[in-house]
Amino acid sequence: MSAETMQTHDLTGRSIIAGERVTGGGRTINGYNPATNEILEPGYSLIDESQLTAATEAAAEAFESFSQLDPETHAAFLEKVAENIEAAAEPLTERVMAETGLPQARVQGERGRTVNQLRLFAAVVRQGDFRGTRWDTADPERQPLPKPDVRQRMIPLGPVAVFGASNFPLAFSVAGGDTASALAAGCPVVFKAHNAHPGTSEIVGAAITAAVKEIGMHPGVFSLIYGPGASIGQALASDPAIKAVGFTGSRGAGLALMKAAAAREVPIPVYAEMSSINPVFFFDGLLEDTVSQGAEATQKLATAYLGSVTGSSGQLCTSPGLVFVPTGANGDAFLAAVAEAAKPAAGQTMLTQSIAASWNEGVEQLASQDGVELVGRGTDGAGENAPAPVVYQASTPAFRDNPVLHEEIFGAASLVIRYDSAEDLVSAAQKLEGQLTATLHLTEADHKQAAPLIPVLEGKVGRILANGWPTGVEVNHAMVHGGPFPATSDSRTTSVGTRAIERFLRPVAYQNLPESLLPKPVQTENPWKLNRRVNGTITLAD
């Protein structure tokens, strides 16, 4: 079935293993509409571990041919996936909205990000710098020992297991960043669908499967499986054919995957994005300047803050869950504006009933802590899964001493910490766990106060930004979407941007190999026209 003919009623409720529709041997699950709690058809049969092995073995069989694709064929495959997703735009948008409660504009924007990301990686594959080719030429006359001919390139790790995220049903899901970067690296993918949006996953999985067939590749390059999260997830991370894991989700699930991967006979890397509260730091000069401009300017800043907190019902990994505001009149004026901005803010439908329940539990726990006070609350939205946004406040001593104040509440909730001085702010920042982002709101007059904070934040986060909001992650060559634990399991990597491909590669050196045995990327004639470093000097391709 091609992506061009895919319609909502074509959903089969089955996994796609190496190009074949497979009925699972386990129980059946359904998606449901979180705005109405309506059950969505069809039901999806969950595979068992024996069926999982068929997917991983097919991926292993596909690895040799897929990892050696020439750049043009490889790039064309990624572009074909993007084309097929666009061809299925109408039924895909309809199904995403039904399974997530997300508005049409958000879904369309996320679909655009997904296909653009695939095309960006196609350009990376064609350009070829990710292959990291190096060549130290031989010098047989060198004394006291001859210098060998040594060449190096980066090669793909092998089949990768990717787990779908609940909050991004497209951009961090079946054809999202982990899948796109793994496929771009030359790694087959076995994708574990998120059970909250099975129909969305099947439509996109069919688009990838069609692209594999249309390009004429081994069908094991991609499989989409439905299974019980804990057991199949653990089995997938433990399968000897799998050589790396990409995951976006809760800290508990991420840690479980890391444990399973580390306990294998041959351990493998797990690239897990898990939790972040993304601190925002307001400096007094910025607030003084804003307040001096009048109530309208102060309200505009407060509204922008609330917009970042409540966007997509706060279900973004970069949502600002923690905000530092100075004590004094300027900070008081800002929080008064926040309280006003919160009043008309209506709750938006959360992705699942369980996520809404977890949000309520987290808010209740935060509100019960000593020294925590309510700043502002919005109104409940339509349906039981659309709780009112909330903002609380506490002092820096409370923040330093109470670990509950450091916990992520996934959804539209934020905690303001009032600080007394630059030293107080740095001391509080030093207590932060690893985060994805940190944001500074400041003027030039604040630079001296902010300077001591920068090295602290460099040790805590993956992205530092100024006078903006952390929500909204640009997909480009320079972006870092990662950070120290527990934001991610490996602070050396990013899951967004072209450097995401590096997670699924490793270096291999070739010393004194005959030319006929060298792989094309490191051959003397450079048939793939790659830029390379020769004797330490970057040499551009002809």
Residues of the chain with CATH 3.40.605.10: 3-143+154-274+494-502
Are the CB atoms for 222 and 66 separated by under 8 Å? no
Mean pLDDT score of the chain: 95
Give the tens place of pLDDT for each residue, 180-229.
999 999 999 999 999 999 999 999 999 999 999 999 999 999 999 999 97
Between CA 495 and CA 480 the distance in angstroms is 7
Phi, psi of 23 (to 5 degrees): -80, 130
Environment class of 465 (CB within 10 Å of its CB; exposed 0-12, middle 13-18, buried 19+): middle
User: How far out from the chain centre does Cα 114 lie?
Assistant: 12
DSSP 147: B
Give the tens place of pLDDT for each residue, 326-374.
999 999 999 999 999 999 999 999 999 999 999 999 999 999 999 999 9
Please identify every residue annotated as catalytic. 273, 317
Which amino acid is residue 31, in one-letter code? G
Give the tens place of pLDDT for each residue, 397-425.
999 999 999 999 999 999 999 999 999 99
Between CA 209 and CA 258 the distance in angstroms is 29
Residues of the chain with CATH 3.40.309.10: 280-466
Measure Cα distances from 267 to 154, 239, 262, 354 in Å. Answer: 20, 11, 5, 32
pLDDT at 229: 78
- What's the CATH number for 3-143+154-274+494-502? 3.40.605.10
**pLDDT tier at 542 (50, 70, 90 boundaries)?**
confident
Place of tokens 């909502």: 8
Q: What's 280-466's CATH class?
A: alpha beta
Place of tokens 């959804």: 411
The tokens describing 249, both together, are 């989700």
Place of tokens 């809760």: 250
Q: How many CB atoms lie within 10 A of CB 307?
A: 13
Of the candidates 316, 278, 276, 271, the residue with the CA atom closest to the CA atom of residue 493? 271
Mean pLDDT of 88-97: 97
Between CA 198 and CA 194 the distance in angstroms is 7
Q: Rounded to two decimals, what is the model's pTM?
A: 0.95
Q: How many CB atoms lie within 10 A of CB 123?
A: 14
